[in-house]
Amino acid sequence: MPRNGQPAQPTGNGAAQAPRPAGGRAALHPGAWWLWALALGTAATRTTNPLLLALLIAVSAYVVVTRRPRAPWSRSYGAFVKLALAVLLIRLLFTTVLGSSIPGTHTLVTLPEVPLPDWAQGIRLGGRVTAEGLAFALYDAMKLATLLICVGAANALANPSRLLKSLPGALYEMGVAVVVALTFAPHLIADIQRLRAARRLRGRPDRGVRGLLQVGLPVLEGALERSVALAAAMDARGYGRTADVPAAVRRTTAALTLTGLLGICAGTYGLLTAAGGTYGVPVLVAGVAAALGGLWLGGRRTVRTRYRPDRWDARAWLVTASGAAVAALLFLAAARDPAALHPGVVPLVAPSLPLWPAAAVLIGLLPAFVTPTPETSVKEPS
């Protein structure tokens, strides 16, 4: 009897294979795209060199341009780029208005300084704006901007519905919430583009405050209708229903999960401190093993089945390994030559591009050559 009222899965090779794009090659596992992008974002946290950060952005952008499918959820990359630019501008604006703690001798402009009361000591409004302070703010903001762009690359490359199918059973309910949250921005952007195009065809303004106000209400209405339809679809498909498992299994699952999380936290703390270098790795490995055991036992409560699950093949390993190699090599470069990855601003000098860390970043281009060409058109899953 099929589980949860779903039709029985067909037998044969077709049931075990992932959907194939137009080129005939199986689509890449969505988890590989996320691991690749998060590894690039991790690498960005190890440097403030603007040339290396710009190279990381260029690598992720090239992979997105060459491997992004044509689907509504893949259009969010531009929004993440705009968000990264907003982060840069806001950080520079705050540094200009509120000043910087970085001492500098190259004064660019002197703003009128507003006197503040004694209780606001340490805060300054206006005054000298130095090139050193702006350079430090720019380097620091580029790190966060690069991380945001890498997350946007993962959103543009990985199909959220297929990613949800690949989650372990114990994380299914949490994964649904995360996927719904991640797909909110792409659908919102698609609705805004559609409504603005319709207003332009009717000869009505689509920019400025007036256009924003007249587009905002239909967008919110569409989001509400989509939420109601999603809730009805989830209820019809049996979302939230779980299987009965013995009490001993539930207690063991909770104990393994809690012990694994504590072990991961303790092991990570040990790796970050000099005194915990001896016990950090074994505690972290034991914590990961306990957490995986808890996830495996927790998956027994899920009654859902998978139709044509995505396969983690050699190409997925190559994509993940390329991102991990970039992160590992930049960690090594930050430990061996911190001055090259963190250029100084006092005295103010032009940043230089270190050769072998830059070559390490270029390893992140591997997915553009080993992954299949995206489909010319992608239909939204029902």
Per-residue pLDDT reduced to its tens digit, 60-74: 999 999 998 887 777
Indicate whether 296 belongs to any domain: yes
Q: Which helix (H) or strand (E) holds 125?
A: strand 125-130
Indicate whether 366 belongs to any domain: yes
Indicate whether 34 belongs to any domain: yes
Q: What is the pLDDT of residue 303?
A: 63
Radius of gyration (C-alpha) of the chain in whole angstroms: 25
Indicate whether 182 belongs to any domain: yes
The pTM of this model reads 0.68
Q: Pick from 63, 64, 85, 83: which is nearest to 75 by CA?
A: 64
Would you say residue 56 has pLDDT above 90?
yes
Q: What are 230's two structure tokens?
A: 């999603």
Region 233-254 average pLDDT: 73
Residue 279: domain span: 244-301
Domain identity same for 221 and 363: yes
Q: What is the pLDDT of residue 259?
A: 87
Among 253, 276, 301, the domain boundary falls at 301
Tell me the pLDDT tens digit for each residue of 150-173.
999 998 898 877 776 776 666 666
Q: What is the pLDDT of residue 171?
A: 66
Among 279, 301, 323, the domain boundary falls at 301
The share of the chain scoring above pLDDT 90, in percent, equals: 23
Tell me the pLDDT tens digit for each residue of 97-110.
887 778 878 888 88
Domain identity same for 236 and 248: no
Domain identity same for 123 and 176: yes
Q: What is the pLDDT of residue 19?
A: 46
| Average pLDDT value over all residues in the chain | 78
Indicate whether 9 belongs to any domain: no
Would you say residue 207 has pLDDT above 60?
yes
Domain identity same for 94 and 212: yes
Indicate whether 225 belongs to any domain: yes
Among 281, 301, 321, the domain boundary falls at 301
Domain identity same for 211 and 288: no
Domain identity same for 203 and 272: no
Domain identity same for 96 and 190: yes
HEC states along 189-241?
HHHHHHHHHHHHHCCCCCCHHHHHHHHHHHHHHHHHHHHHHHHHHHHHCCCCC
Q: Pick from 185, 173, 136, 190: which is nearest to 304 by CA?
A: 173
Domain identity same for 274 and 235: no
Domain identity same for 105 and 127: yes
Q: What is the pLDDT of residue 120?
A: 67
Domain identity same for 272 and 316: no
The pLDDT-based confidence of 273 (bands split at 50, 70, 90) is: low
Domain count, the chain: 2
Mention every residue, 6+ apart, whose C-beta is less than 8 A from residue 103.
130, 132, 346
Domain identity same for 130 and 226: yes
Q: What are 355's two structure tokens?
A: 């050769």
Q: Pick from 370, 312, 322: which is nearest to 40 by CA?
A: 322
d(CA 135, CA 341): 15
Query: What's 61's DSSP letter?
Result: H
Domain identity same for 296 and 330: no
Indicate whether 11 belongs to any domain: no
Indicate whether 378 belongs to any domain: no
